[in-house]
Copies of this chain bind each other. A is one copy, B any other.
Amino acid sequence: MKQSFTILAGAVVAVAMAGTVIAQSDGDKAAEAAQDAREAQMDLYAFNLGLLGDMAKGAVPYDAAAAQAAAENLAALSALDQSRLWPEGSGEMSIETRAKVDIWDDMDDFTAKADDLMKAAAAMAEVAGTGLEAVQGQMGALGGACGACHKAYRAPES
């Protein structure tokens, strides 16, 4: 009895998966590809911002060249063309993501917040190699630009 139940359950799963594949439109696939790419973009922000943050709070020693490189990376990353990262239908109502649909309801504000990050990153890159105090002085604006967008447009972790 147990074995036949297992086989039946397996068949149900197989049918359900087949349905999923058929139901997944090209739009979903594009949305999921965009989601993967924006996760990569955020990971690279975090990797570079993390080093600057660790220096700012004294968790790692200040290193002018490393700070400058991280800040320039952030500036370049925030200046990438990101239009393909946020296609319509790639919000939390459509795919597995923390991107709120509010993004598409207020794309002008979303874009303005992305511009704020680009400006804060450029300002950090202007001074990051000149000393620890300069890094510390720019961290608030840079972290604030990240946080402002997350607060408005990122859903809580489920």
Contacts and interface: CB of A to CB of B under 8 A. Distances in A.
A139 interface: no
Count the copies.
2
Contacts of A92: none
Nearest to A42: B40
B41 A44 contact: yes
Instruction: Report which residue of A39, A47, A70, A79 has the largest number of chain B beta carbons within 10 angstroms of its beta carbon.
Output: A47
A80 B77 CA distance: 8
Nearest to A71: B81
Instruction: Report which residue of A33, A37, A40, A41 has the largest number of chain B beta carbons within 10 angstroms of its beta carbon.
Output: A40
A21 B44 CA distance: 25
A47 B84 CA distance: 9
A139 B73 CA distance: 26
A79 to B, nearest CB: 7
Task: Say which size band chain A's interface belongs to.
Answer: 20 to 34
A28 interface: no
B40 A47 contact: yes
A154 to B, nearest CB: 18
Given A37-B47, A43-B36, A47-B40, A72 B66 contact: no
A41 B37 CA distance: 10
Nearest to A80: B73
A107 interface: no
Interface in A56-94: 66, 69-70, 72-73, 76-77, 79-81, 83-84
A72 B81 contact: yes
